[in-house]
Amino acid sequence: MSRIGKALIKLPAGVEVKVSQANVVTVKGPKGELTQQLVDDISLKVEDGNITLDRPTEQKRHKALHGLYRSLVNNMVTGVTQGYTKRQELVGVGFKATTDGNILDLTLGYSHHIYFEIPKELKVKTEQDKGKNPIITLEGIDKQLIGQVAAKIRSLRAPEPYKGKGIKFEGEQLRRKAGKTASK
């Protein structure tokens, strides 16, 4: 059995899980509601406050899907109870980030501002303390959506390896290169 797939998912208090005939899982909790379509081969059971996922055979494809959907359902349960946050740091002279509703206004060293629309399912905050790099914080219940939006924001100015300027995740270790050496 898949080590990830066979692990039980414990349901916290206040979380409801429903499975429809079309194999659509709906997880409802204090922070919101998420849905996920399961493949027909994978079956989900809710018993005694635990969720178990089963697969029909030991085929490589079924093993892969077993672990995948167990992780997706676990992320849904965690999302509706605790939520997820991603923090990104803008490293560079003159780099700024401000928000206006769900529009993120970025100044990243280009000749123009970049306006990035954040999906309505997410909340965005910016912090700009004197002497520190600006921070963008994304919050929401959908782990996949937060990761996708954070990756898109990062791609607007990915960190470069010489000075480390760009948008990086907080706590991320960048691989730095040595610059040119002085000639004689």
Backbone angles phi, psi at 95, to 5 degrees: -75, 130
Q: What is the C-alpha to C-alpha distance for residues 23 and 68, in angstroms, rounded to an integer? A: 15
Question: Which pLDDT value is given to residue 93?
Answer: 92
Q: At which of 24, 56, 81 does a domain end?
A: 81
Range of the domain at 100: 84-169
Q: Are 144 and 157 within one domain?
A: yes
Question: Which pLDDT value is given to residue 1?
Answer: 44
Q: What is the C-alpha to C-alpha distance for residues 108 and 153, in angstroms, rounded to an integer? A: 11
Closest CA to 172 of 86, 111, 81: 86
Total domains, the chain: 2
Provide the greatest CA pair distance for the chain.
Answer: 76
Judge if pTM exceeds 0.75: yes
Judge whether 127 lies within some domain: yes
pLDDT tens digits, residue range 68-126? 999 999 999 999 999 999 999 999 999 999 999 999 999 999 999 999 999 999 999 99
Q: What is the C-alpha to C-alpha distance for residues 108 and 105, in angstroms, rounded to an integer? A: 10
Distance of CA 7 to CAs 27, 70, 142, Å? 18, 8, 21
